[in-house]
Structure 1
Amino acid sequence: MPTTLTTTGQPIAGLLTHQERDVLHAVGCGLRDAEIAAALAIPQDAVAGHLAGIRAKLGLRDRAAAIVHAFDCGLVVPGHGPRRPATGPAPGAAARPAREPRLRISVLGPLRASCDGQPVDLGHLRQQAVLAALALCAHRTVSQQELRDGVWGMEQPITNVVPVYIYRLRKNLRIGDGPDSVIQRDRCGYRLAPGAVTVDVARLEELVTAAGAAERAGEPAEAVRACSQALDLFRGEPLAGLPGPFAELERLRLTERRTTLAQRKLDGQLRLGRHSEAIAELWALAVAQPLNEPVAAMLMRALYRSGRRADALTVFDRTRRRLADELGVSPGQILRRTHQMILRGCEAGPGVTRTTS
């Protein structure tokens, strides 16, 4: 096999270590850090460190540039599967997909965990809140003090019960032979073992990223599909019932994430002309958030495009009164423009979630 070169003609072997070449190859194959760590049997932090070194040595701006570079220099060949440089370890080692973690944690609703499809007992609510903090900080170590502050807030426990809860969680979540197979400890605190657990929030973010990529590529139907899949991950109020300031802040953040995704999906449906399909969800969202002007404007537009002009104007009047009574303000530009569009019988109105400057 010919020597693998950088895009400037220099041999990669002269710039990167063996493990850096392995990591670059795996990145070019589309593997995530957790998958690379599992495939190469190294810590996930080491993967991030190697990738930073690769970018510095090769002058690459970001991960996307590293993927492109892996193809451009011939480390990975499109349409022929991944290949490795002749100086590296055995072919196919990094490209082999990592085994799917057997333990799954869901925070997009009441906290749940399952191992091989079977539910796991997570103990009482404070213990669950500790696990939720680890799951939502999956890529870093969380200190004992951070866990105490996040789970108990101002009402700190008299004794340090965090290690007790960690011990119980390790015991209940144990997959392999060792008690540390899921939750690891270092001198700074605790973290979930890289590659040992899947958390539904990670999948949520993947779908959000996919929706954004589809929008930028001019594929609104694909963006709507990705948003719908992301919304399907929610099983109710995120972290429902869990105590502590950390859970409360994450509950607010994830609830707002859900609302934004719903608006994004519905706006995409309207842009695709699927007005009747969007009305029921828009009604529910408008009832839940009666002061949300973009939602009200989307509902007005959907009703108007479905031949329900009077209902669309009623939505405007109702929202205008609520804004005046509860906030003491008049409708904003987006609501006023949609109202004027309907009054004039305009057939081609502006999108309701984007305004022209």
Structure 2
Amino acid sequence: MSTTAITTRPSSAELGDQERAVLRAVGCGLRDDEIAAALALTEEAVAGALARVLGKLGLRDRAAAIVHAFDCGLVAPGRGPRTPGSASASASAPGSASVPNGATVRTAAAKVRISVLGPLRAQHGGRDLDLGHLRQQAVLAALALHRGRTVSQQELLDGVWGSEPPVTNVVPVHVYRLRKALRLGDCPGSVIEHDRYGYRLVAGATEVDLARMEELVTAAGAAHRAGDLSEAVRLCSRALDLFRGEPLAGLPGPLAELERLRLTERRITVAQRRSEWRLRLGQYAGAIAELMALSGEHPLNEPVAAMLMGALFRGGRQADALAVFDRTRRRLADELGVPPSPVLRRTQRLILRGA
């Protein structure tokens, strides 16, 4: 039986006290001059200690050292470095974060708002955050789309890079940069946490518009079942207002591509449901206007075309309803080379019979 040797990276336990202190401070995002002031060292001593840390741990650069500080637990997400006095500091000042010199800083209570129902965007305190280049944004989008569970590095590689993975393991570096961009207090890492299985958004630290949209759609369904169609329409409208264009517009990778299609179809379904309820309420003009706009955006969507035909007919516009059929039939033939579906033909026959 053959055996395979497994090489593991040295742990921070092999570092001296000064080196561990420097690594903690680096993990908290401090510059060399700030570390020197906090630890009463010269900047040259800090640089030397960091060089020894990189050598002993086999780390490539400062960014890799920061990632290692988080992943090995020297720095806790959102709480800064774990110094001997950090427990008492946290107890005496809830919501604060420790820094190497024992001072505390108040972390912001507001959540980071992440939007995927349009071009990816993250905001904190009403301010747009710089999320870096598109691949890095795609990593954040993957975490937001899987909010509530851990996403493994392999899932991120498959979802963001697909069949062309990067030569080096860049996922931890992207996560580190996102931690800095999304930080709630003075230390990076308060929004994304890491465990042995991968990365996830910290519970309670973020709000994702997709989750809010689904909550509103669920509430609309409950209102419909309770017989309150006006409330159902209102809740659907609020859900649709969260869409800001093409979901995840411009983001690369198989996951973003699939989610663009899924979320676009989800928006169409919710819009159809709202229009159906508006028709039941007798709001023909509003429902027709919505369906016309939706059909204009998705001219090859036959269920939308059929619903628009029915709404026009019920609104006393039989000729316009039949014109929608003819227009859709021509586009299907010209662009896809297919005839109208049975649903569309059945709707046409009902309108011709005046049913």
Give TM-score scaled by structure 1 length. Answer: 0.65
Letter aligned with residue 329 of structure 1: P
Partner of 1:211: 220
The equivalences for 1:217-296 within 5 A come to 217-296=226-305
Q: Which secondary structure state, in structure 2, belongs to the residue aligned with residue 175 of structure 1?
A: coil
- Indicate if the aligned counterparts of 1:101 and 1:198 stay in contact, CA closer than 8 A: no
Q: Which secondary structure state, in structure 1, belongs to the residue aligned with residue 164 of structure 2?
A: coil
Distance 2:161 2:193 in 1: 22
Distance 1:147 1:228 in 2: 33
Q: Which ranges of structure 2 fall in alignment gaps of 5 or more residues?
A: 1-107
Between 188-197 and 317-326, report the one with greater CA deviation.
317-326
Letter aligned with residue 322 of structure 2: L
Distance 1:293 1:167 in 2: 45
Letter aligned with residue 231 of structure 1: L
Partner of 1:3: none
Matched, 1:319 2:343: no
Aligned with residue 107 of structure 1, among 106, 112, 116? 116
Distance 2:168 2:116 in 1: 27
Partner of 1:310: 319
Distance 1:168 1:135 in 2: 16
The equivalences for 1:135-154 within 5 A come to 135-154=144-163
- Indicate if the aligned counterparts of 1:144 and 1:162 stay in contact, CA closer than 8 A: yes
Distance 2:120 2:340 in 1: 41
- Indicate if the aligned counterparts of 1:101 and 1:195 stay in contact, CA closer than 8 A: no
Distance 1:128 1:159 in 2: 18
Letter aligned with residue 280 of structure 1: A
Letter aligned with residue 275 of structure 2: L
Distance 1:175 1:328 in 2: 53
Distance 1:191 1:287 in 2: 38
Partner of 2:167: 158
Query: How far does residue 323 in structure 1 lie from its aligned partner after superposition?
Result: 4.4
Q: Which secondary structure state, in structure 1, belongs to the residue aligned with residue 240 of structure 2?
A: helix
- Indicate if the aligned counterparts of 1:103 and 1:196 stay in contact, CA closer than 8 A: yes
CA gap of 1:324–1:240, structure 2 versus 1, over 3 A, is closer
Identical residues among aligned pairs (%): 70
- Indicate if the aligned counterparts of 2:117 and 2:242 stay in contact, CA closer than 8 A: yes
Larger Rg: 2
Q: Which secondary structure state, in structure 1, belongs to the residue aligned with residue 150 of structure 2?
A: coil
Matched, 1:123 2:132: yes
Q: Which secondary structure state, in structure 1, belongs to the residue aligned with residue 193 of structure 2?
A: strand
Matched, 1:202 2:211: yes
The equivalences for 1:5-16 within 5 A come to none
The equivalences for 1:53-132 within 5 A come to 101-132=110-141
Q: Which secondary structure state, in structure 2, belongs to the residue aligned with residue 113 of structure 1?
A: strand
- Indicate if the aligned counterparts of 2:217 and 2:239 stay in contact, CA closer than 8 A: yes
Query: How far does residue 221 in structure 1 lie from its aligned partner after superposition?
Result: 1.7
- Listed one character per residue, the Cα deviations across residues 256-295 of structure 1 (whole Å, up to 9, x for unaligned) are 1111111111111111111111222212222333333322
Matched, 1:191 2:200: yes
- Indicate if the aligned counterparts of 1:323 and 1:331 stay in contact, CA closer than 8 A: no
Query: How far does residue 236 in structure 1 lie from its aligned partner after superposition?
Result: 0.8
Distance 1:139 1:328 in 2: 42
